[in-house]
Amino acid sequence: MATYVARRLIQAVVVLLAVSLICFCIFRYLGDPVISMAGLYATFQEREEVRRVFGLDKPTYVQYGLFVWNAAHGNFGKSFVSRVPALPLILERFPATFELATCAVCIAFVVGVGLGVLVSLRPYSAKSRLIMAASLGGISIPTFLTGILLIMVFSVMVGILPSYGRGNTIQLGFWRTGLLTLDGIKHLILPACTLASYQLAVLLRLTRAGMREVLAEEYIKTAWAKGLPPRKVIFKHALRNVMIPVVTITGLQFGELLAFSIVTETIYQWPGMGNLLLTSIYENDQPVIVTYIMLASLIIITLNTIVDILYAILNPKIRYD
Amino acid sequence: MKKLLFLLLFGLLTVALVGYTMAAAPTSIIVAQDDSPAMMNPYGDDSDANLQYMANFFDGLVQRKGADGTLAPALAEKWERVDALTWKFYLRKNVKFHNGNPFTAEDVKFSFERTANPEVSQFVNFGKSLESVQVVDDYTVVVKTKTPIPWFVNNMHQLFIMDKESTEKRDAGDVMVKPIGTGAYKLEEWVKGSYVKMVANEDYWEGAPLIKKVEIRPISESSTRFAALASGQVDMLTGVPLELYDQVVADKKLEVVTRPARRSIFLVMGSKPGSPLADVRVRKAMYMAINEDEIIEKLMRGHAKPAAQIPDPPTVGYNGELKRLPYDPEGAKKLLKEAGYEKGFTVTLTGPTDRYIMDKQICEAAAKYLAKVGIEVKLDLKPKAIFFPEVGQGKLEMYLLGWFDGTYDMGRTYAKLVHSRDLDKGYGELNGAFFSDAGIDKVIESTATMLDLKERTKTLQQLNKTAMVDQIYCIPLHYQVDIYALQKAKAINFKPRPDRWMVYKEISFAK
């Protein structure tokens, strides 16, 4: 196990280097940031001075080398737009994204698995068919449409839920949370549901498929025959065996939600990392974009590794050597 | 005894009632704005998006007031031009910064010198144009420029004064997020991406502002912004999207305020030797081929005013005599034939997709109109972050641009946009398609030191005519219209500014 973790760590470093290198190459085609940094009316000489001050006159490989060296020391450079260090700028937004993604995953997991079990018990009832049809919608309707529809219905027409932002938040140390106020929770409902809609449908279908397979197994029939209460048969004997793939997918998706909840965050103007990334792309704020992408890679690599390790714990048959 | 108790109760009730009605009179406002602040350092971002926030926390030596944008004293009570290079400012006394520090000439010197530091400033051009800033006494400052700058004071409303003591003392990161100015509002809290909360500065030198608490929620996504207003979560909205205009008007709870914007939209054509566009007849034909009335009616849904030139009426250099060339595709074809391009040619039209109202659609429409007279247009549409650097590098053939000049003087704009590219002399840095005309260059250079307003106005008007009518530097399209929406019930007394800044000391409640 220790060798496995070590190998994963080395892989992670290589991936991060590759990601940063690709980012740097792409930026060469993204246009010159100096022109906006020097101000609209700057002369050519003034622009060149700005270029020198920010070290953008150096050849790309020197800039890249400097970036890697500084990044290794935890310094990811300053945002071109807001002129403050990029990493804190992104981390400041982390709590918002984390709370949103966590809630979305919880909703998706509880509702998805719950409905999946329900549907698998009576696969041919009208209710089950309706749920399955709706889940198809959840997979195929794009997030931005779900978001706009939810806003239209619940904010504009019915008027019970706010349409944007985080509402009242409370600062706990470095963490700004919206989970401790009623207003904050109200603001969380719509974006979390939007973000969860796809994941929910996936988990639902996965659970249903697994359950249907397991429910037909001999040992389930034995369990029924023993006269065990349905609760025990379904949850203890059947569902438990379905959980491994479901947990894996949930874990992997959590990483994606953390890193790429961009569309949902933009529609609801959620002050999270995805929203910041989109603004930074529009403004060609290269240090923030690179830092973000590296951070996102790190999150996904970490979660994948954790899922792999959990897998080994859940299923002792699996060995990593 | 009973009577006394009754009286006491009655008295208490009255007090409570009065107190209640007083509390009910609105003193706070929540506004959804279409752009968010990038930082709280007044020099670090020279876009109007950021400056408009700064205008609430800081004051300049002068200010632009209200709906007309008249130049008015602010931290300087008066000023005079000593000679072509020297300006003398007499500062206002008894003004205090938000932290209690008194405002003096040292702060002006410190602030102006800070603008030259590229690490914290996008006003490098201003900072570098100063020869010296001299403190005569606590309330007098003499500023010398390296060359005569005709519009020097005109633009000073964008240069806010910072507190020397606290800015030097705090670390750079803190200065970027906590503004300490003399302005009408103090920053209460800024949660990036969520809101900016401001409270009235009760000691403001112009008198305390009427609205005591302002909460600005920047919402860049236009449909979300509209939903916030329609669902009653905010009192006011800036930047109503054209596609939602009809819905805002149809909503009985909402009131719509529009005003012609200063910004004009135009298509710049280069005149590189060898290119078909080098022939002025071709440029004229392209002008005549564009059906601007249809663009305004169909794309802008009526919310634009046709433009015959780049500057808007209050700008020095605006020429009221100029008229748009009429839409005449047949005439255009004839001109093209005359110029030897009967079979047409191919041109690349570049434009931003996220900068101006309907920018992308306007480019697409222009391509269709030009196709009708035989000119094949290759569209090259891209985000502003990529587009503007290309303008700066002079890589383009023809492009869509929007402009207005904060100085209310066309001289600076023309030197940047129309003068031939001459980077050593500091001309034509934003002349993106190598337009060049020796006659125009000469006039622009002559106006650089022309200080007399009458002469300057005449020369710039003439220059404008040459560039628009004789040389056809660009196809002027239209002036944009700014659209705001308000909750009627709140009875907000709001008059939009020409520069689109939201300056909250100028807003009040009618009731």
Question: B375-413 pLDDT, tens per residue?
Answer: 999 999 998 888 998 998 898 999 999 998 888 899 999
For residue B355, what is the nearest residue in chain A, using CA coordinates?
A282
Question: Residue A126: what residue type?
Answer: A
Residues 84-103 of A with CB under 8 A from B: 84-85, 89, 92-93, 96
pLDDT tier for residue B9 given thresholds of 50, 70 and 90:
low
Tell me the C-alpha distance between A127 and A117, whole Å: 13
Q: Is the pLDDT of residue B21 over 50?
A: no
Among candidates A40, A43, A162 on the partner chain, residue whose Cβ is nearest the Cβ of B233: A162
Tell me the C-alpha distance between B364 and B358, whole Å: 10
| B209-237 burial code (b ≥16 CB/10 A, e <16) | bebebbbbbbbbbbbbbbbbbbbebbbbb
- Give me B494's structure tokens: 């709001």
- Please state, in angstroms and as integers, the Cα–Cα distance from residue B443 to each residue in B312, B323, B414, B416, following that order: 20, 22, 10, 14
Residue B35 confidence (pLDDT): 86
> Under 8 Å CB-to-CB from A60, ≥6 apart: which residues?
A24, A28
* Sequence-ordered strand ranges (E) for B421-473: none
* Cβ pair B46:A39 closer than 8 A: yes
CA nearest neighbour of B71 among B504, B502, B507, B498 = B498
Residues B99 and B180: beta-carbon distance below 8 Å: yes
Residue A321 confidence (pLDDT): 58
Chain A residue numbers touching B221 (CB-CB < 8 A)? 266-267, 269
Distance from CA of B38 to the nearest CA of A (A): 5
Residue A262 near chain B (CB below 8 Å): no
Q: Is the pLDDT of residue A73 over 70?
A: yes
| Opening angle at CA B283, ends B278 and B289, nearest 5 | 150
Strands B492-493 and A175-177: unpaired
- Give me A19's structure tokens: 């990601």
DSSP 8-class letter at A9:
H
pLDDT tier for residue A4 given thresholds of 50, 70 and 90:
confident
Above pLDDT 90, what percent of chain B?
A: 76
CA nearest neighbour of B366 among B355, B381, B387, B354 = B381
Q: Number of Cβ pairs closer than 8 Å across A and B?
A: 156
Tell me the C-alpha distance between B446 and B437, whole Å: 15
Residues 11-30 of A with CB under 8 A from B: 30
Chain A residue numbers touching B220 (CB-CB < 8 A)? 266, 269, 279
Tell me the C-alpha distance between B72 and B63, whole Å: 5
Distance from CA of A269 to the nearest CA of B (A): 6
Tell me the C-alpha distance between B278 and B420, whole Å: 13
* Cβ pair A148:B223 closer than 8 A: yes
Residue B14 confidence (pLDDT): 53
Q: Which residue has the tokens 């706990």?
A: A172
Chain B residue numbers touching A39 (CB-CB < 8 A)? 46, 121-125
Neighbours of B138 (CB within 10 A): 13
Q: Which residue has the tokens 């007279």?
A: B373
- Give me A88's structure tokens: 């804190």
Mean per-residue pLDDT, A63-72 = 88
Distance from CA of B303 to the nearest CA of A (A): 26
Residue B19 confidence (pLDDT): 46
| CA quadruple B180, B185, B187, B191: dihedral, nearest 10 | -140
* Cβ pair B385:A30 closer than 8 A: yes
- Strongest mean pLDDT among A37-41, A304-308, B474-478: B474-478
Angle between helices A94-121 and A273-282 (to 10 degrees): 120
Q: Is the pLDDT of residue B371 over 90?
A: yes
pLDDT tier for residue B354 given thresholds of 50, 70 and 90:
confident
pLDDT tens digits for A189-216? 999 999 999 999 999 999 999 999 998 8
DSSP 8-class letter at B277:
G
Q: Is the pLDDT of residue A182 over 50?
A: yes
* Cβ pair A43:B191 closer than 8 A: no
Among candidates B230, B392, B426 on the partner chain, residue whose Cβ is nearest the Cβ of A35: B392
* Cβ pair B46:A266 closer than 8 A: no
Q: What single string gives the DSSP state of each residue in A47-93?
A: HHHHHHHTTTTS-HHHHHHHHHHHHHTT---B-TTT-SBHHHHHHTT
Residues 175-194 of A with CB under 8 A from B: 176
What is the distance of C-alpha B414 from the center of its chain? 17
* Cβ pair A269:B221 closer than 8 A: yes
Q: Which long-range contacts (CB under 8 A, 24 or more apart) does A313-317 make?
A: A314/A243, A314/A244, A314/A247, A315/A244
Tell me the C-alpha distance between B87 and A252, whole Å: 65
Residue B22 confidence (pLDDT): 45
For residue B34, what is the nearest residue in chain A, using CA coordinates?
A269
* Cβ pair A39:B44 closer than 8 A: no
| CA quadruple A181, A186, A189, A190: dihedral, nearest 10 | -140
| Opening angle at CA B22, ends B19 and B27, nearest 5 | 135
Tell me the C-alpha distance between A62 and A53, whole Å: 15
Tell me the C-alpha distance between B186 and A106, whole Å: 41
Q: Which residue has the tokens 């802008």?
A: B300
pLDDT tens digits for A82-123? 888 999 999 999 999 999 999 999 999 999 999 999 999 888
Among candidates B193, B221, B392 on the partner chain, residue whose Cβ is nearest the Cβ of A271: B193
pLDDT tier for residue A188 given thresholds of 50, 70 and 90:
very high
Among candidates A96, A152, A163 on the partner chain, residue whose Cβ is nearest the Cβ of B233: A163
* Cβ pair B46:A40 closer than 8 A: yes
Tell me how far apart the 2 most distant CA atoms of chain A are, in Å.
87
Tell me the C-alpha distance between A189 and B470, whole Å: 61
* Cβ pair A269:B45 closer than 8 A: no
Tell me the C-alpha distance between B308 and B478, whole Å: 8
Residue B24 confidence (pLDDT): 52
Distance from CA of A48 to the nearest CA of B (A): 11
Tell me the C-alpha distance between B275 and B347, whole Å: 9
Among candidates B119, B124, B423 on the partner chain, residue whose Cβ is nearest the Cβ of A44: B423
Distance from CA of A95 to the nearest CA of B (A): 13
In a mutational test of the A interface, the residue from B30, B48, B171, B192 whose CB has the highest number of chain A CBs within 10 Å is B192
Tell me the C-alpha distance between B218 and B30, whole Å: 11
Q: What single string gives the DSSP state of each residue in B282-307?
A: HHHHHHHH--HHHIIIIISTT-EEE-
- Give me A38's structure tokens: 């020097």
What is the distance of C-alpha B271 from the center of its chain? 29
Residue B221 confidence (pLDDT): 84
* Cβ pair B39:A84 closer than 8 A: yes
* Cβ pair B118:A269 closer than 8 A: no
Residue A247 confidence (pLDDT): 86
The larger pLDDT score, comparing residue A123 to residue A30, is at A123
> Under 8 Å CB-to-CB from B333, ≥6 apart: which residues?
B285, B373, B374
Query: Across chain A, what does the average pLDDT equal?
Result: 88
Q: Is the pLDDT of residue B40 over 90?
A: yes
Tell me the C-alpha distance between B323 and B258, whole Å: 24
Mean per-residue pLDDT, A6-15 = 85
pTM: 0.85
Residue B25 confidence (pLDDT): 61
Query: Across chain B, what does the average pLDDT equal?
Result: 91
Distance from CA of B372 to the nearest CA of A (A): 33
CA nearest neighbour of B54 among B151, B153, B121, B140 = B121
